[in-house]
C-alpha cells in the first residue's frame, strides 16, 4: 500500500494519519497513563494544548472544505499555526518521554528479561530512547513538508485574500 493511499473523505494519507493516531495513542497510554509520575508534568499540558488547537483547526478546515465553503482565515490557520504548534507539541512529547525514563528504568515497566520460555527480551527504557531519537530524522521531514504545503496552498490564495 502506497503512503499516498487515500480513503477519500479527507485528503490525507492513510499511512500518515495512522502513524499520527498510533503515536498519540502511544504517548497517552504507554507513557502518560502508564507512568503516573509524569501526569503532572507541564510537558503533558504542552502537547495536549498543541494537539487540541491543531485538531480544532484541522477538522474545521476539513468540515468547511467538504461543505465547499472554506473561509480564508481557517485555511490560513491550518497552514500557518503549525509553525508554532508543531514544535510545541513535539517538545511536550519529548519532554514527557524524557521525564518518564527514570521511572521506567526503576520499575522495569513493560520490559521482558531473559531467561523466559519465549527466549525473548525487550527493554522498554531503551525503546523509549529509540523513540526519542527517531524524532531527529522524522520531525524535520514532516515540518518542512508542511512549510512546502504552506507555500503551495497560501501562495495561490494570497492574491485573492478575502475572508468569506
Catalytic residue positions, numbered: 86, 93
- In angstroms, the Cα distances linking 46 to 49, 79, 107, 164 are 5, 20, 26, 32
Q: Within its chain, how far is the Cα of 88 from the centroid?
A: 10
Residues in the chain: 164
- In angstroms, the Cα distances linking 22 to 14, 26, 40 are 12, 6, 23
Which neighbouring-strand residues pair with 112? 122
Q: Is the peptide bond before 115 cis (omega within 30 degrees of 0)?
A: yes
Amino acid at each position: 500500500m502506497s503512503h499516498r493511499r487515500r480513503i477519500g473523505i479527507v485528503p490525507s494519507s492513510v499511512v500518515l494519519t495512522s502513524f499520527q493516531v498510533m503515536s498519540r495513542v502511544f504517548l497517552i497510554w504507554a507513557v502518560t497513563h502508564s507512568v503516573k509520575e509524569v501526569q503532572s508534568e507541564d510537558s503533558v499540558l504542552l502537547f495536549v494544548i498543541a494537539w487540541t488547537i491543531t485538531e480544532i483547526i484541522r477538522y474545521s478546515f476539513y468540515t468547511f472544505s467538504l461543505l465547499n465553503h472554506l473561509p480564508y482565515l481557517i485555511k490560513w490557520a491550518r497552514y500557518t499555526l503549525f509553525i508554532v504548534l508543531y514544535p510545541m507539541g513535539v517538545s511536550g512529547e519529548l519532554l514527557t518521554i524524557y521525564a518518564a525514563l527514570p521511572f521506567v528504568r526503576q520499575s522495569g515497566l513493560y520490559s521482558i528479561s531473559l531467561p523466559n520460555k519465549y527466549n525473548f527480551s525487550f527493554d522498554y527504557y531503551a525503546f523509549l530512547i529509540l523513540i526519542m531519537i527517531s524524532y531527529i530524522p522524522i520531525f524535520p521531514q514532516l515540518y518542512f513538508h508542511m512549510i512546502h504545503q504552506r507555500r503551495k496552498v497560501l501562495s495561490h490564495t494570497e492574491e485573492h485574500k478575502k475572508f468569506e
